[in-house]
Amino acid sequence: MRRIRVAVVGGGQNCEHDVSLASAASVRSALDPAEYEAVPLTIGRDGRWYGDTRTPGSLAAALDVLGTCDVVLPLVHGPLGEDGTLAGLCELAGVPYVGSPLRAGALAMDKWATKLVAEAVGVRTAKGKLVTDPSTADFTGPVVVKPVAAGSSFGVRLVEHEADLEPAVRQALELDDRVLVEEVLHGREIDIAVLDDPDEGRRTGPPLEIQVRGLFDTAVKYDGSATFLIPAPLTDIELKALEDAALRVYEALGCRGLARVDFFLTGDGLVLNEVNTMPGMTAQSQVPKMFAAAGLSYPDLLDKLVRGAMR
């Protein structure tokens, strides 16, 4: 019986390039070789595509490879990948792919658009302002500055003094042409993973709580100092509210396959932080660990994603 050819796409032309390479390498090694043939495709920082060898190729050559595959697993986090770009390429190439369609990827990657969609379906978000000019940023007390469309907390800074606000906005504008300046929220950081399970239907995984001192920034995300509690200790009422809100936002954005929906649980209730339509996918990443806690192994999670996309 012929194995299913899965194009595993990693890399990318953004600041999450190395994170994406790690996800792609981990997925390739975890796909069951009896069922799947993993076909590596890497997008270099310069935008050139690479296959099994390190010889750079063209997009046209990459499309030829995609055309020989049964399904694509796009693991490019961030802009020119997770933002719907790769989904659009797969749509044009006529190849099934894992994850959200173009529109959902674009909306979820845009933190400002996500806020508008979430508020429209009754899910509260942090008060914030969209800024394109550093001189127009208002300091209203401690704020968080973040690029509108960047992942892994790149460009995110906690600003506690007014003099530091404009430099923080300028730094964030190096990664995007729009920046969010948001109020600082005090509460527990809780993540909910949503999976379109081809066997059981849409479901959520056990909630994950991030415990960290200070801001959960890029350095803390990858230095191992953060503690993940799975399942997060929540009351039944808190858990149901978080799961309902995650599903509402997932559906309103038009997500598909898999997403991680991140919240703050404050004294005044839950507040949406952001939505990741292609979160980190190494075995030690948050989403695989969440489903592993429910008895779904990493290879089995990947199997469900691939089968769901092909279906």
DSSP assignment letter at 139: P
Tens of pLDDT, residues 18-44: 999 999 999 999 999 999 999 999 999
91 belongs to the catalytic site: no
Report the b/e string of 64-95 with b at 16+ CB within 10 A.
ebbeebbbbbbbbbbbebbbbbbbebbeebeb
Q: What is the rounded average pLDDT of the residues 156-183?
A: 94
Please, where are the H alpha helices in the chain?
17-30, 59-67, 85-93, 102-109, 111-120, 165-172, 218-223, 236-253, 286-292, 298-310
Inform me whether the pLDDT recorded for 271 exceeds 70.
yes
Taking residues 65-81, what's their average pLDDT? 95
Token pair belonging to 90: 């797969």
* pLDDT greater than 60 at residue 215: no
274 is catalytic: yes
- Report the range of poorest mean pLDDT among 45-54, 68-77, 95-104, 121-130: 45-54
Dist. CA 141–CA 143, nearest whole Å? 6
Q: Mark whether 273 is an active-site residue.
A: no
Tokens 């964030």 correspond to 172
Q: Burial letters for 234-262: b for 16+ Cβ neighbours within 10 Å, e otherwise?
A: beeebbebbbebbbbbbebbbbbbbbbbb
164 — pLDDT class (breaks 50, 70, 90): very high
Q: pLDDT of 276-311, one tens digit each?
A: 999 999 999 999 999 999 999 999 999 999 999 998
Distances in Å between the alpha carbon of 99 and those of 152, 194, 196? 18, 11, 9
Section 220-232 average pLDDT? 77
pLDDT band at residue 154, thresholds of 50, 70 and 90? confident
| Catalytic residue check, 276 | yes
Q: Check 70, 83, 260, 273 and give the catalytic one.
A: 260
- Specify burial of residue 60 (Cβ count, 10 A radius: 0-12, 13-18, 19+): exposed
Catalytic, out of 14, 23, 26, 152: 152
Could you tell me what percent of the chain has a pLDDT over 70?
Answer: 95
Give yes or no: 152 in active site. yes
222 annotated active-site: yes
Q: Which one of 11, 276, 298, 308 is the catalytic residue?
A: 276
**Of residues 20, 3, 24, the one with CA closest to residue 12:** 20
303's CB contacts (< 8 A; 6+ apart) are 31, 32, 35
Name the nearest CA neighbour of 272 among 249, 255, 290, 291.
Answer: 249
Q: Active-site residue among 110, 176, 243, 262? A: 262
List, in order of start, the domains of the chain with CATH numbers: 4-97 (3.40.50.20), 107-124+185-310 (3.30.470.20), 138-183 (3.30.1490.20)
**Residue in 44, 222, 285, 300 annotated catalytic:** 222
pLDDT at 220 over 70: no
> Would you call 37 a catalytic residue per the annotation?
no
Give the confidence band of 214 by pLDDT, cuts at 50, 70, 90. low
Stated pTM of the model = 0.91
Range of lowest pLDDT (89-93, 116-120, 133-137, 278-282): 133-137
49 backbone dihedrals φ, ψ, rounded to 5°: -100, 145
Upper half-sphere CA count for residue 285 (Cβ side, 13 Å): 23
To the query of whether residue 14 is one of the catalytic residues in this protein, the response is: no
Sheet containing 56-57: order of strands: 56-57, 49-50, 36-43, 4-11, 71-74
